[in-house]
């Protein structure tokens, strides 16, 4: 048990390496320039909406791919709402969580909670969106003019020159008409669908004068034109480059059974291939047959998602019999991404998912600030109590407790900040609670260690030896106890839904940090301190004082065994 | 076994601390032997808890029932509740004649209604804000769908079962002793029932945060149990070579870690108490308070159960094992022989058994205790009192 020269170098080296690791974390933070953890919405105000998906068909299972697709669509909708900094994540196997900071808009709930509406409508008129209130678009549309000559082919192999207007799905924030919102128009347009007419009647539909005049004056993004399936729709494409006058919905998006982005054989360009179900195939043939006879722009389909034109492919005039077989292909100046985006949107119509609003958490900025303050107060009180108790009980050894807690805090802070910037982890109130509870878990490890040192000293070991043997024996206890803590945190994290996930996360994180701190800071620190005269010789206030520890002899340096301590126990 | 703290008079040394006396076994309390008493106490507490749950029931939060809860900051006066209630009722929203309005502390007013549409939420927000002179945006609200509570409950039950199974496996793997798993799980369930019972008694609202708190207790309660069991394992590692029964070894382990257990519990409870305090008195409601109470009760119950339930139960189960039965028989034979011998020589020496849980059998040499040999005065060798240097002279 003699400390060899090799062991002398050890604790210091560990400390230095550990300090370097922490310094490394803070260097990354300094480089990124973000010093504060990302706060959850319950601490800074905002809305959190939890949606639960249910499968309207089949076994009721929600597969991860559909959920992710739905998440993408909802993200686009929220982005389109123009609130910025919003976040849409999936949680568990059927939840989608929408978090929007600093927003108190109640219609947001309706926006994200509504099932996406994807429809194929007929285009009646197209015009450049002049005088639009659109903000400068970062990605000027490189796509073809919407009225460009275009065809849709039934066979992917058919050599049809096809172009699709504005296939580029930009994520530019823009105001888009909300479904069934009251409009500020003097005599409001109907906001609820009327009677659905047969397809043949719909094809003969013509825009009213009012539709035409509204179209003339329509500015992209300025009004919320109601998106009603049986009525005309005036809206813009995603880039707000063009405005469209569209007829009533002809084919609903849920008739699309499949949509993929692909590069057909003998081709180099991306296309989007789509398939319809039986009813959809029949309708699609009828509609394409009609469109093929029309002139531009009335030979175009407007594919409308949530009242926004996603794509407006035209049907070539040679398809006078319509596109049969329920398979079609949209081609144009697609990139892989834009083709994929369009395919995703089209497949969304095929998603058998419906969403329920499970919970809406709306925290005002003031309540958020109060909660943050309370969390900080709780943390400070908790920390102070733990420190006070350890000073009372461990005297100067409390310095080690304090230093270890400070290191643990520093490490936790760094990791929470880094996880916030890299993974978007936001610290919420339950998360703070988890960190506070973890103060106890962390301090517990020190107690197990310190008490073990005392036990060893009681058995007559010198303090310096006791620090080493106490460590060897308490190490496994600390690991076992911490792993139980960790296990519960992991189970909770995987299974928890909503804000309490944050609790499990910080609890687990801080348990890991605790292990790191005990191994790489507290133990080497104590080894070093054990060599000092103050601690090593059991000074009155060192916490290793013989009387205080319960040994009857001072744990002198290397005084291997002293008579008194040994006998006391033996005579019991 | 007698029913009091046994303390043998010390030699003429300074009075050792309680910790020290507990550690050496000089002073020990026989937790294990009095297990029936602890079982009885726990049984009574559990009964109260179960009765409380059965008859008082848990007051479930809005998260479990579905509905909308509004919260707004306001300087509470005697008329606040009535003003707000009137304002909301004046909206005449169908199905909401019976809204609940109360104040939290003196700075918040809370309104609970049944499920509302988004338009109705906007209306109610406006009404509340109007009644107390705020902007509608200052009114926070949470809306819970009807199926949400069911989902949370299902998840919590899954978490509970998964955790229990994993912990059982973990303890089994770590300690290689399945009975330790059983004892730990029994103690855990004990803590859970008590915590839930306290919730029923106090009448705090059960929220998802409460459930998380309760699930966290699982981890924390086990933390204590792990510490005790670790020591028991250490003390019983070479049990067959000692004169101690499993119960005695387990009991001495308990006494040795008693102070440590108390310390870890106090240190663990202190931050939780801070949480509870802040949640209760500063915020008045919310996850801090809910987590705080569940953890507070659960941690104290956990410390109790690891000492008074888990260990006695473990000892009881282990003593029933064939190897332990055999070990006890061997000890009995040895004791009989010793008594015979002692009867021949000095009958006085037998008093040594009094302390029941004496020094731990671990590495007796390091303790300097010479435990087994100390029993037999004839074989005891006095260590040389003379230093080498002096002997040389």
Beta carbons of A359 and B143 less than 8 Å apart: yes
In chain A, residues with a C-beta closer than 8 Å to the C-beta of B180 are: none
Beta carbons of A507 and B26 less than 8 Å apart: no
Specify the pLDDT at position A84: 66
Determine the angle formed by the axes of helices B287-305 and A500-517, rounding to 10 degrees: 50
In chain A, residues with a C-beta closer than 8 Å to the C-beta of B106 are: none
Residue B43 pLDDT class (50, 70, 90 cuts): very high
Q: Does residue A161 have a pLDDT over 50?
A: no
* Chain B: closest CA distance from residue A259 (Å): 33
Q: Does residue A548 have a pLDDT over 60?
A: no
**pLDDT tens per residue, range A19-78:** 999 999 999 999 888 888 888 888 888 888 888 887 766 566 777 777 887 888 778 777
- HEC letters along chain B: CCCCCEECCCCCCCCCCHHHHHHHCCEECCCCCCHHHHHHHHHHHHHHHHHHHHHHCCEECHHHHCEEEEEEECCCCCCHHHHHHHHHHCCCCCCCCCCEEEEECCCEEEEEECCCCHHHHHHHHHHHHHHHCCCHHHCEEEEECCCHHHHHHHHHHHHHHHHHHHHHHHHHHHHCCHHHHHHHHHHHHHHHHHHHHHHHHHCCEECHHHHHHHHHHHHHHHHHHHHHHHHHHHHCCCHHHCCCCHHHHHHHHHHHHHHHHHHHHHHHHHHHHHHHHHHHHHHCCCHHHHHHHHHHHHHHHHHHHHHHHHHHHHHHHHHCCHHHHHHHHHHHHHHHHHHHHHHHCCHHHHHHHHHCCCCCCCCHHHHCCCHHHHCCHHHCCCCCCCCHHHHHC
Q: Which residue among A50, A440, A547 sits closest to B267, beta carbon to beta carbon?
A: A440
User: Which residue would you say has higher pLDDT here, A335 or B25?
Assistant: A335
Specify the pLDDT at position A158: 30
SS3 A397: helix
Specify the pLDDT at position A170: 38
Q: Which residue among B11, B18, B267 sits closest to A386, beta carbon to beta carbon?
A: B267
Confirm whether pTM is higher than 0.95. Answer: no
* Chain A: closest CA distance from residue B219 (Å): 5
User: Which residue would you say has higher pLDDT here, A333 or A187?
Assistant: A333
Q: Does residue A420 have a pLDDT over 50?
A: yes
Find the range with the poorest average confidence among A163-172, A282-291, A525-534, B346-355: A163-172
ipTM of the predicted structure?
0.71
Question: Which residue, among A91, A85, A48, A32, has the nearest Cα to A417 in the 3D structure?
Answer: A32
Residue A346 pLDDT class (50, 70, 90 cuts): confident
Residue A546 pLDDT class (50, 70, 90 cuts): low
Residue among A112, A437, A442, A466 with most chain B CBs within 10 A, to mutate: A437
Mean pLDDT of chain A: 74
Question: Which residue, among A208, A244, A297, A294, has the nearest Cα to A128 in the 3D structure?
Answer: A244
What count of other Cβ atoms lies within 10 Å of the Cβ of residue B307? 24
Q: In the structure encoding, which two tokens stand for residue B307, read together?
A: 């000492």
Contact B63, B208 (CB under 8 A): yes
* Chain B: closest CA distance from residue A384 (Å): 9
What is d(CA A140, CA B189) in angstroms, rounded to the nearest whole number?
Answer: 63
Contact A251, A283 (CB under 8 A): yes
SS3 A26: helix
* Chain B: closest CA distance from residue A484 (Å): 6
Q: Which residue among B122, B278, B358 sits closest to A381, beta carbon to beta carbon?
A: B278
What is d(CA B125, CA B123) in angstroms, rounded to the nearest whole number?
Answer: 5
Residue A363 pLDDT class (50, 70, 90 cuts): confident
Q: Does residue B93 have a pLDDT over 90?
A: no
**pLDDT tens per residue, range A171-221:** 333 444 444 444 444 566 777 777 777 777 777 777 888 888 888 888 776
Specify the pLDDT at position A175: 43
- Phi, psi (5° rounding) for residue B181? -60, -45
Find the range with the poorest average confidence among A202-211, B3-12, B383-392: B3-12
In chain B, residues with a C-beta closer than 8 Å to the C-beta of A483 are: 170
Q: Is B358 on the interface with A (CB under 8 A)?
A: yes
* Chain A: closest CA distance from residue B143 (Å): 5
The reply to whether B19-58+148-329 and B67-144 are identical in fold is no
Tell me whether strands B59-60 and B205-206 are parallel, antiparallel or unpaired.
Answer: parallel
| Most confident segment among A98-107, A358-367, A514-523, B196-205 | A514-523
Q: Does residue B345 have a pLDDT over 50?
A: yes
Contact A288, A323 (CB under 8 A): yes
Contacts of A38 (CB under 8 A, 6+ apart): A417, A420, A421, A424, A425, A426, A427
Q: What count of residues does chain A have?
A: 572
B residues 174-203 near A, CB within 8 Å?
174
User: Which residue would you say has higher pLDDT here, A445 or B3?
Assistant: A445
Q: What is the mean pLDDT of residues A259-288?
A: 84
Specify the pLDDT at position B372: 53
Q: In the structure encoding, which two tokens stand for residue B295, read together?
A: 């953890």
B residues 31-90 near A, CB within 8 Å?
63, 71-73
User: Which residue would you say has higher pLDDT here, B375 or A178?
Assistant: B375
CA B235 to chain centre: 23
In chain B, residues with a C-beta closer than 8 Å to the C-beta of A385 are: 270-271, 273-274
Mean pLDDT of chain B: 78
* Chain B: closest CA distance from residue A92 (Å): 10
Beta carbons of A385 and B292 less than 8 Å apart: no
Q: Does residue B377 have a pLDDT over 60?
A: no
Superfamily of domain B19-58+148-329: Multidrug efflux transporter AcrB transmembrane domain (1.20.1640.10)
Contact B77, B96 (CB under 8 A): no
Contact B139, A131 (CB under 8 A): no
User: Which residue would you say has higher pLDDT here, B105 or A487?
Assistant: A487
Beta carbons of B137 and A364 less than 8 Å apart: yes
Q: Does residue B380 have a pLDDT over 60?
A: no
Q: Is B268 on the interface with A (CB under 8 A)?
A: yes
A residues 445-504 near B, CB within 8 Å?
447-448, 451, 454-455, 458-461, 473, 476-477, 480-481, 483-485, 487-489, 491-492, 495-500, 503-504
Q: What is the mean pLDDT of residues A309-320?
A: 81
**Bond preceding residue A297 cis, omega within 30 of 0:** yes
* Chain A: closest CA distance from residue B381 (Å): 14
Contact B213, B293 (CB under 8 A): yes
Specify the pLDDT at position B18: 67
Specify the pLDDT at position A21: 92
Q: Provide the sign of the torsion angle of the four alpha carbons A28, A31, A35, A38, taken in this order.
A: negative
Contacts of B64 (CB under 8 A, 6+ apart): B148, B149, B152, B153, B206
What is d(CA B71, CA B75) in angstroms, rounded to the nearest whole number?
Answer: 13
**pLDDT tens per residue, range A276-307:** 888 888 888 888 888 888 877 788 888 887 77
What is d(CA B356, CA B353) in angstroms, rounded to the nearest whole number?
Answer: 6
Q: In the structure encoding, which two tokens stand for residue A22, read together?
A: 């922490």
Specify the pLDDT at position B44: 93
Q: Does residue A131 have a pLDDT over 50?
A: yes
Specify the pLDDT at position A512: 92
What is d(CA A442, CA A395) in angstroms, rounded to the nearest whole number?
Answer: 18
Q: Does residue A156 have a pLDDT over 60?
A: no
Residue B389 pLDDT class (50, 70, 90 cuts): low
Beta carbons of B270 and A440 less than 8 Å apart: yes
Beta carbons of A550 and B16 less than 8 Å apart: yes
Q: What count of residues does chain B have?
A: 393
Specify the pLDDT at position B323: 84
Residue B12 pLDDT class (50, 70, 90 cuts): very low
Specify the pLDDT at position A23: 92
What is d(CA A247, CA A88) in angstroms, rounded to the nearest whole number?
Answer: 32
Q: Is B288 on the interface with A (CB under 8 A)?
A: yes
Q: Does residue A480 have a pLDDT over 70?
A: yes
B residues 91-120 near A, CB within 8 Å?
118-119
Domain ranges of chain B: 19-58+148-329, 67-144
**pLDDT tens per residue, range B120-178:** 888 888 888 888 888 777 788 888 877 777 777 888 888 888 888 888 888 888 888 88
Beta carbons of B26 and A361 less than 8 Å apart: no
Contacts of A21 (CB under 8 A, 6+ apart): none
Residue of B nearest to A453 (CA): B260
Q: Does residue B180 have a pLDDT over 80?
A: yes
**pLDDT tens per residue, range A374-410:** 889 999 999 899 888 888 888 778 888 888 988 999 9
Specify the pLDDT at position A106: 65
CATH for B67-144, options being 3.40.50.1370, 3.40.50.720, 3.40.1530.20, 3.30.70.260? 3.30.70.260
Q: Does residue A416 have a pLDDT over 60?
A: yes
Q: What is the mean pLDDT of residues B351-372?
A: 48
Residue of B nearest to A481 (CA): B223
Q: Does residue A134 have a pLDDT over 50?
A: no
* Chain A: closest CA distance from residue B343 (Å): 22
């Amino acid at each position: 048990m003699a400390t060899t020269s090799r062991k002398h170098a050890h604790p210091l080296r560990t400390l230095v390496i550990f300090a370097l690791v922490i310094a490394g974390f803070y260097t990354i933070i300094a480089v990124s320039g973000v010093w504060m953890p990302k706060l959850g919405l319950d601490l800074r105000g905002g809305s959190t909406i939890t949606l639960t998906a249910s499968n309207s068909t089949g076994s009721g299972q929600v597969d991860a791919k559909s959920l992710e697709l739905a998440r993408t669509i909802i993200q686009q909708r929220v982005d389109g709402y123009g609130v910025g900094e919003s976040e849409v994540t999936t949680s568990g196997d059927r939840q989608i969580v929408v978090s929007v900071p600093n927003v108190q808009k109640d219609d947001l709930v309706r926006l994200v909670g509504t099932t996406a509406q994807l429809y194929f409508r007929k285009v009646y008129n197209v015009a450049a969106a002049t005088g639009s209130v659109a903000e400068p678009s970062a990605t000027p549309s490189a796509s073809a003019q919407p009225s460009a000559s275009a065809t849709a082919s039934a066979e992917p192999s058919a050599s049809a020159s096809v172009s699709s207007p504005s296939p580029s799905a930009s994520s530019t924030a823009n105001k888009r008409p909300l479904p069934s919102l009251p409009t500020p128009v003097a005599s409001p347009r109907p906001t609820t669908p009327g009677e659905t007419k047969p397809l043949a009647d719909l094809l003969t539909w013509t825009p009213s004068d009012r539709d035409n005049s509204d179209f003339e004056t329509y500015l992209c993004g300025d009004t919320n034109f109601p998106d009603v399936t049986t009525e005309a729709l005036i809206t813009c494409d995603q880039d707000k480059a063009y405005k469209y006058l569209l007829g009533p919905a002809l084919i609903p998006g849920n008739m699309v059974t499949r949509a993929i982005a692909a590069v057909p054989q003998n081709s180099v360009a991306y296309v989007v291939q789509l398939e319809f179900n039986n009813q959809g195939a029949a309708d699609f043939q009828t509609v394409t047959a009609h469109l093929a006879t029309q002139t531009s722009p009335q030979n175009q389909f407007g594919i409308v998602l949530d009242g926004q034109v996603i794509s407006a492919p035209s049907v070539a005039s040679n398809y006078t019999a319509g596109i049969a077989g329920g398979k079609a292909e949209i081609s144009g100046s697609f990139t892989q991404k834009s083709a994929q985006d369009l395919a995703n949107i089209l497949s969304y119509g095929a998603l058998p998912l419906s969403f329920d609003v499970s919970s809406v958490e709306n925290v005002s900025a003031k309540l958020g600030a109060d909660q943050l303050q309370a969390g900080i107060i709780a943390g400070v009180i908790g920390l102070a109590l733990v420190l006070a108790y350890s000073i009372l009980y461990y005297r100067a050894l409390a310095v080690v407790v304090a230093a270890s807690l400070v290191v643990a805090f520093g490490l936790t802070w760094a990791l929470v900040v880094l996880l916030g910037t890299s993974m978007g982890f936001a610290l919420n109130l339950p998360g703070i609670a988890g960190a506070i509870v973890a103060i106890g878990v962390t301090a517990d490890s020190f107690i197990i260690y310190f008490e073990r040192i005392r036990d060893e000293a009681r058995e007559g070991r010198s303090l310096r030896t006791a620090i080493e043997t106490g460590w060897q024996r308490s190490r496994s206890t600390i690991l076992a106890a911490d792993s139980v803590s960790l296990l519960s945190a992991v189970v909770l994290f995987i299974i928890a839904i909503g804000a309490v996930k944050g609790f499990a996360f910080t609890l687990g994180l801080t348990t890991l940090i605790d292990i790191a701190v005990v191994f790489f800071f507290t133990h080497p620190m104590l080894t070093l301190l054990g060599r000092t005269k103050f601690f090593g010789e059991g000074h009155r206030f060192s916490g290793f004082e013989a009387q205080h520890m319960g040994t009857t002899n001072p744990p002198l340096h290397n005084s291997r065994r002293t008579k008194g301590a040994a006998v006391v126990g033996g005579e019991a | 076994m007698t029913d009091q703290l046994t303390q043998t008079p010390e030699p003429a040394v300074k009075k050792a601390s309680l910790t020290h006396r507990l550690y050496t076994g000089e002073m020990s309390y026989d937790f294990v032997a009095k297990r029936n008493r602890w079982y009885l106490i726990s049984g009574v507490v559990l009964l109260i808890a179960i009765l409380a749950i059965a008859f008082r029931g848990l007051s479930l939060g809005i998260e479990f029932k579905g509905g909308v809860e509004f919260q707004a900051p306001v300087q509470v006066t005697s008329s606040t509740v009535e003003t707000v209630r009137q304002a909301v009722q004046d909206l005449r929203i169908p199905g909401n004649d019976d809204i609940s309005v109360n104040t939290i502390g003196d700075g918040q007013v809370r309104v609970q209604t049944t499920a509302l549409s988004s338009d109705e939420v906007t209306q109610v927000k406006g009404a509340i804000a109007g009644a107390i002179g705020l902007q509608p945006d200052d009114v926070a609200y949470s809306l819970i769908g009807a199926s949400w509570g069911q989902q949370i409950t299902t998840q919590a039950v899954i978490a509970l079962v998964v955790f229990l199974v994993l912990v059982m496996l973990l303890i089994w793997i770590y300690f290689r002793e399945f009975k330790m798993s059983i004892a730990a799980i029994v103690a855990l369930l004990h803590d859970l029932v008590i915590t839930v019972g306290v919730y029923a008694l106090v009448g705090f609202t059960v929220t998802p945060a409460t459930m998380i708190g309760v699930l966290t207790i699982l981890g924390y309660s086990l933390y204590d149990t792990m510490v005790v069991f670790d020591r028991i394992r250490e003390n019983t590692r070479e049990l067959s070579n000692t004169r101690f029964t499993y119960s005695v070894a387990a009991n001495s382990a308990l006494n040795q870690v008693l102070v440590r257990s108390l310390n870890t519990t106090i240190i663990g409870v202190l931050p939780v108490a801070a949480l509870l305090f802040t949640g209760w008195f500063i915020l008045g409601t919310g996850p801090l308070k809910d987590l705080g109470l569940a953890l507070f009760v659960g941690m104290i119950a956990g410390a109790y159960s690891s000492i008074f339930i888990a260990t006695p139960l473990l000892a009881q189960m282990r003593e029933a094992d064939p190897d332990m039965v055999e070990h006890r028989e061997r000890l009995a034979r040895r004791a009989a022989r010793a008594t015979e011998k002692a009867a021949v020589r000095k009958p006085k020496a037998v008093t040594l058994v009094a302390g029941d849980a004496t020094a731990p059998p671990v590495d007796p040499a390091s303790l300097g205790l010479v435990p087994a040999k100390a029993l037999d005065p004839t074989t005891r060798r006095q260590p040389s009192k003379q230093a080498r240097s002096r002997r040389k002279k």
